[in-house]
Structure formats: C-alpha cells, structure tokens
C-alpha cells in the first residue's frame, strides 16, 4: 500500500491533461448573463489596453528569451524571470516577479518565491503585495519546504493557513505534516499536526476552526481528521480510520456538518462514498455516490482510465446548502453534480471553481490550450440551482483564465496567462486582476 501511495503522489505531479473540452449541462438551468462583461473590464481603463501593454506596443517588462506561453515551466528547464502585472480597479498597482500560487486575501496578494535546493526541496519565501500602496513585504521563509497544499489555502480571521511538509521525500521516510499560519502583521508560525504526513493533505474552514485531513503512510496506514482551534492553538484528532485502507479523498464543512469524500475498495472494485458527520463528529449518513461520479466520465474513457481517476488525490471539493457537489481531482475529472437528482450539472476537464464568502464562482480554465483564439473566457455563478454564464473576450483575446482566488471579504482575483502561437503580439506579461 505504501508503494501505491508514493506512486499516486508522483503521478499527481504530472497529470495535467486537458482534453475533450465540450460537455453538455444537465439538471440545472444555464442562462446567459444579461450584462456579460469582461473580468478585466473597467468603465475607465482596461488593463490590457493601457499605455504599458497596448496591443500595438511591447510592454516594458519583456522577459528576454521568454516563450509566448508565459509562466509554464517544464521539468528540467531553467526557470525564466517572469513579471506579473497586478491590476486593481482598472489601474496598474505594480509587478510581482515569479510568484508561486498568488492568492488574494483581505490584506493583499499572498505569494511565494522559491529557491531550489534539491530535486524536491526549496526555501520558500512568503510575500504579501499590497495593491493599494504597491508595497511588497516579506513575511517569512520556510526552510527546506518540499510541498505546500496551495490548492487548499484557507483565510480565517485575517490569517491565511496552508499545509506543508519539509525535507527531501524518501521512500519509507515519514515527514511531519505542518499547519503553516501566515499572519500579515506577525509573519509565519508553524503548528505540527502529526509526525507522519502526506503531502496532498486536506484543509477546510469549519466555522471558527479548521479541519485537516491526512493520509498516514506508515505501516498502520491510519487516515485521520484533525480539528484545529486558532483561539487556543489546540490540535485534536476527531475522526480516525483504522481499517488499513486509504479512504480519505477530501473534506468540507457546511451548515454544522462535516462532509468527507472517501474511496472504498471491495472485491477489487472501488466505490466513492460521501459521509456526513454532525457537530460532535458522529457519523449521521453514509452514501455511495459512485453512480453519480461515473456519469461525469466521457464515453471515450477506457476502464483503466476511470479506475485511475477515482484513486487520485482531490484538490477541490465542497457541497452547497442546496445539495450541489463540486469535485476536482489532480487530473481530468472536474464536475458539478446535483446530489438530490443524481444528475451532472456540468462536467469538463477545464471547468474549475473557487469558493469564497460570496458563494462559488466557476470558470473555464486555459482556453489558450484549445483551438481557436476567438473562444471567450467563460465564468459561471451559481444561485440556488441556477447556473448563469457570462462570456467575454478581452481587447486582446489571447489572454485566458489560468486561476482565480477569492478573499474572505469577497474580493476576487483572476490570473490571466497569455498564449500567442502565431507570435502576433509577442511577450505580453501575465496579469493578476483584482475586482
């Protein structure tokens, strides 16, 4: 089992396939927004048409020798210097160089700079860029960081939390799982969760506390869920699986309930299970949702591909109060499903979501990797069970959504990458647009 977990860990680093873009929507009404606007549009100034980055001129910060696909680094290649333009309210706030996982927060844009020290180990400097003032502050450095769950960063009470492991990962060697607390005023604090940590751990907000899920990869293989209370810095194990399995996939919290997505194996066949726990972490329901999960697969998926998709780590998972579930793994399976009707609302490998205080915002990712630059950037907002779509082509349609994040106060930041296969307007920088 330990070898299987390590194989899954390595595979997840490279599974970034995005194919078969077209899917149909079922079960939920999808309507066009009456006022579909560009995510970068501002009545006064549009970021991509300012003097610094007009379509007719080259920007001031053109990375020398940079490919037209900015910000995408392949293994074994030297990392180029890439400057991201930061925009807020239609005005350029400044630039950030080589940001790892830029995330908008109440206090500004949190990002990391990495100094590589080995094949999988780096020193990670955590910075906060303040768009209102243009100030960039170093909050602290994590020495010998090997992985951060940037996909599960959580903002709670003005602080940002994420999970890390440190040290060179070696076969059979345990590494502590650490909860990293990032305080915009006081810097970094490390809280040890457990001695035997799995890099693709899970983190979710549960009212005023945090839920942490972990795969132990020791001989006992006991998956656990921990509750962290920032008020007294207490760490308490609240759920423990001791069946010699690796059931945990992801977790979330909604309306005093903890929901846990699990995988179960019986007679050589895997099943996807949704568990519900009350506020005292007593199990109240267990439901097999394999049938719903399988509806999200494209018909072209071979049986072995489906089996591999089911066991991969899950980066995105939450359930709305109306019973809609979002699922996103590290590979190709991304979908929104209605748990009541059992139907798939929308499923596409480049369909992803960001969940914040104002509900969920869904969007089509990386249109630049699909044929046709005339394709619009698409965003979807869910209100109850109605999914409303907005389509927009910026002044330069070669920019496409690469990521979105949302702060605790509802501020949204869109990361735009630039892809120009025909080299029409070379070397425009990536953008971070805050709204």
Q: Number of C-alpha atoms within 13 angstroms, CB side, residue 412?
A: 21
H helical segments located in 252-351 = 290-295, 303-311
d(CA 218, CA 197): 9
Query: Residue length, the chain?
Result: 435
Question: Residue 257: what pLDDT?
Answer: 97
Give the whole-angstrom CA distance, residue 327 versus residue 335. Answer: 5
CA dist., res. 260 & res. 118, Å (int): 35
Predicted pLDDT of residue 78: 60
Please tell me the predicted confidence (pLDDT) of residue 43.
30
Laid out side by side, the sheet with 248-254 consists of 248-254, 257-266, 269-277, 283-288
Q: Say what the pLDDT of residue 360 is.
A: 84
pLDDT at 36 (0 to 100): 35
Provide the CB-side half-sphere exposure for 244 (13 A, CA).
3
pLDDT score at 107: 97
SS3 341: coil
Q: Can you tell me the distance from the alpha carbon of 46 to that of 316, in angstroms, rounded to the nearest whole number?
A: 31
Strand-pairing partners, residue 271, are 264
How many degrees, rounded to 5, is the angle at CA 367 between CA 15 and CA 108?
85
Give 195's DSSP letter.
S
Pairing of strands 135-148, 122-130: antiparallel
* Domains of the chain, each with CATH number or no CATH: 1-32+247-349 (no CATH), 99-243 (2.120.10.10)
The pLDDT of residue 23 is 31
| E-strand stretches of 63-134 | 83-88, 91-97, 100-105, 108-116, 122-130
pTM: 0.82
Q: Between β-strands 234-241 and 269-277, what pairing exists: parallel, antiparallel or unpaired? A: unpaired
Beta strands in 131-222 (DSSP E): 135-148, 154-156, 159-166, 177-183, 187-194, 202-206, 209-214
**pLDDT averaged per 10 residues, the chain (length 435):** 41 37 36 38 34 34 33 52 94 96 97 92 97 97 96 95 89 83 98 92 96 81 92 95 79 96 89 96 96 90 90 94 95 95 92 83 76 77 88 77 93 90 81 94
């Amino acid at each position: 089992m330990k070898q299987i977990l390590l194989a899954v860990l390595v595979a997840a680093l490279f599974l970034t396939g995005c194919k078969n873009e077209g899917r149909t929507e079922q079960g939920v009404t999808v309507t066009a927004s009456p006022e579909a606007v560009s995510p970068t549009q501002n009545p006064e100034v549009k970021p991509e048409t300012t003097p610094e980055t007009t379509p007719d001129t080259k920007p001031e910060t053109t990375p020398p020798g940079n490919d037209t696909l900015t910000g995408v680094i392949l293994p074994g290649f030297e990392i180029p210097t890439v400057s991201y333009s930061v925009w807020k309210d239609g005005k350029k706030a400044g630039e950030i160089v080589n940001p790892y996982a830029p995330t908008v927060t109440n206090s500004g844009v949190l990002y990391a700079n990495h100094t590589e020290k080995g094949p999988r180990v780096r020193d990670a400097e955590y910075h906060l860029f303040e768009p209102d003032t243009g100030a960039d502050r170093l909050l602290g450095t994590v020495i010998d960081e090997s992985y951060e769950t940037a996909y599960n960063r959580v903002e709670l009470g003005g602080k940002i939390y994420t999970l890390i492991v440190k040290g060179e990962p070696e076969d059979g060697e345990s590494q502590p799982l650490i909860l990293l607390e990032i305080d915009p005023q006081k810097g970094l604090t490390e809280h040890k969760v457990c001695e035997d940590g799995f890099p693709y751990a899970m983190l979710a907000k549960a009212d005023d506390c945090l839920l942490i899920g972990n795969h132990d990869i020791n001989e006992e293989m006991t998956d656990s869920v921990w509750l962290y209370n920032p008020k007294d810095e207490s760490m308490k194990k609240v759920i423990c699986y001791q069946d010699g399995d690796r059931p945990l996939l992801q977790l979330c919290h909604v309306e005093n309930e903890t929901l846990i997505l699990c995988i179960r194996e019986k007679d050589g066949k895997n099943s996807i299970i949704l568990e519900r726990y009350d506020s005292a972490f007593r199990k109240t329901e267990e439901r097999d949702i394999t049938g719903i999960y399988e509806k999200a697969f494209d018909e072209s998926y071979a049986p072995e591909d489906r089996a591999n998709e089911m066991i991969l780590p899950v980066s995105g998972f939450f359930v709305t109060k109306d019973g809609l579930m979002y699922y996103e793994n590290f590979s190709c399976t991304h979908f929104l499903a209605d748990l009541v009707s059992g139907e798939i609302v929308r499923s596409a490998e480049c369909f992803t979501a960001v969940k914040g205080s104002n509900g969920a915002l869904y969007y089509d990712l990386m249109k630049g990797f699909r044929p046709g630059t005339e394709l619009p950037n698409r965003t979807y907002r869910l209100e109850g069970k109605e999914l409303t779509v907005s389509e927009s082509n910026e002044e330069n349609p070669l920019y496409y959504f690469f990521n979105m994040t949302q702060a605790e106060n509802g501020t949204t930041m869109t990361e735009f990458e630039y892809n120009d296969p025909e080299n029409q307007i070379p070397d425009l920088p990536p953008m971070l647009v805050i709204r």
